């Protein structure tokens, strides 16, 4: 499963190599290269695994709260994504 995820990430980044990078805004506009995005994704993934290992009982008790917060946080980027595509 992990190997498939790594391959998907690599294929995801291969399109970025062709265009030379993606403009992303994180406190300021910056041109992000594929390797920077890849490292950021993996660092947050590993941090989440570590945090999840230590907080697993707390997460299990409040799973619905985290699910609602995740949905609420996903609403604005989803609307923004579909607004710009028109």
pLDDT for 12 beyond 80: no
Give the model's pLDDT for residue 15. Answer: 46
Count CB-CB contacts under 10 A for residue 13. 16
Structure tokens at 68: 């609602």
Q: Where are the domains of the chain?
A: 1-54, 60-86
The CA distance from 82 to 41, in Å, is 23
pLDDT for 64 beyond 50: yes
The residue-averaged pLDDT of 51-74 equals 87
Model-level pTM greater than 0.75? Answer: no
pLDDT for 11 beyond 80: no
Contact residues for 14 (Cβ-Cβ < 8 A; gap 6+) = 34
Give the pLDDT confidence of 14-56 residue by residue, as tens digits.
Answer: 444 444 566 655 556 667 788 888 888 899 888 888 888 888 8
12: nearest Cα among 43, 46, 44, 41 = 41
């Amino acid at each position: 499963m992990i190997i498939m995820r790594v391959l998907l990430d690599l294929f995801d980044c291969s399109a970025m190599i062709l265009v030379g990078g993606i403009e992303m805004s994180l406190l300021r506009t910056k041109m992000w290269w594929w390797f920077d995005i890849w490292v950021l994704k993996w660092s947050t993934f590993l941090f989440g695994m570590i945090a999840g290992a230590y907080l697993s009982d707390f997460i299990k008790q409040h799973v619905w709260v985290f699910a609602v917060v995740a949905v609420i946080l996903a609403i604005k980027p989803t609307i923004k994504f579909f607004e710009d595509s028109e």
